[in-house]
Structure 1
Amino acid sequence: MTDQHRLAPGDTAPAFTLTDQDGGTVSSSDLAGQRVIVYFYPAAATPGCTTQACDFRDNLGSFAAEGFTVVGISPDAPAKLKSFAEKEGLTFPLLSDEDHAVAEAYGAWGEKKNYGRTYEGLIRSTVVLGPDGTVELAQYNVRATGHVAKLRRDLSLG
């Protein structure tokens, strides 16, 4: 996957419907009219993903006060997401994208290099959607640690 497939500000965000950690579904249409932070992470309950999820959890109130909804998406099965949410006290939707179709549509799936090995996988990414469903901000290859603080700065949230 090349950068040309990545989303950019002003793009219309691809529609999605995914299963959440409780077995319900969340669709992009359910989120219409809201500003939404959609973050893609490789695997629930791994150290980096736990750090990032807990960072979002700890900032959830301030994001909500600024009018943002937070949604996490990973290739994990709903049962794994439920266990992760319960263990870490995550109260925002974690969505299962097992076939990684949504990650691909958002430019968050592609070639990765790790320890000299090249493979296809989820690229840690965050896409901020405006109330009209257009992309306000798209960040790819973000770091798990410190990402939420950087995102807050980039969104001018202080």
Structure 2
Amino acid sequence: MTDHPKIDQTIFVGDGRRLGNCVAACIATITGDPLDRVPHFIEFGIAYGDTDTTDADVSSGNNWWAMMLGYLAAKGLWPVELEQLTDADAHELVLVAGISPRGVVHQVIYRGGRLWHDPHPSRAGVLDLREVLAVRPLPGFDHAPTAPAEAARG
């Protein structure tokens, strides 16, 4: 998971869209997927009914979260909420949300208790830690598809 290039966000608050794509950039970094293949989860969530906000809330609905969970699960990964950074394993990548120096909720990646990647060009990180999610292998995920019924009978 850590051999992938660090991906920077390409959409910023104030670009004519209220919310940047820092979450998608962090997920692209963790999964190794090109950014243009990772959904803008927050924007899709708003399209499906999440509240459009840029205030201090980490999350303003559950639709974006469900979409991100599905995306990560398809990759054999799962976010595990941690109480604090010190609960993370030394080398695992941790999604951290907090308020950026620009005054908006922002997502970055920590590793080993330190900022490892900020997808914003400023690289300024976050001023506080409001959500800490270790991205770990999904238990029991074997990447093997279920055999079709005909093959199972055959």
TM-score range, shorter chain: under 0.3
Q: Which has the larger radius of gyration?
A: 2
Larger RCO, structures 1/2 (Cα 8 Å, 6+ apart): 1
If the length of structure 1 is used for normalisation, what is the TM-score?
0.26
Greater strand fraction, Structure 1 or Structure 2: 1
Greater helix fraction, Structure 1 or Structure 2: 1
If the length of structure 2 is used for normalisation, what is the TM-score?
0.26
